[in-house]
Amino acid sequence: MSEQKIKFIAADMDGTLLDEQGQLDPSFFELYEELKDQGIQFAAASGRQYYSLIHTFEPIKDEMLFIAENGTLVMHRGEELYSCTIEHFSDHSYRPSNS
């Protein structure tokens, strides 16, 4: 029987990757390199906006996968892989119900 290999890790930001001051431990970048060397893809997952996440991971932002904005945006190496947006309603198309 072969040993199962981890291929992907997604971690939440607040309360997991970030400390009480909202900072990423600088040693994370060493860990990231170890994961990359083992062929493990890492994703930062958060309700935060994408541009907030890339600021946090500036040194490796062009290598990472980001699951941002409560899962409505997935970016990898600056390329949008998935986006789920709310349709824009004009004043003429939206009619609230009379409840």
**What pLDDT is recorded for position 89?**
57
Q: pTM of the full predicted structure?
A: 0.78
Which residue type sits at 18? Answer: L
| pLDDT of 53 higher than 80 | yes
Residue ranges of domains in the chain: 8-83
CATH assignment of 8-83, among 3.40.50.360, 3.30.479.30, 1.10.10.60, 3.40.50.1000? 3.40.50.1000
State pLDDT tens for residues 55-85.
999 999 999 999 999 999 999 998 999 999 8
Q: What's the CA gap between 33 and 28, in Å, rounded?
A: 9
Where is 52: in which H helix or E strand? helix 50-56
State pLDDT tens for residues 9-40.
999 998 899 998 989 999 999 999 999 999 99
Give the residue numbers marked as catalytic.
12
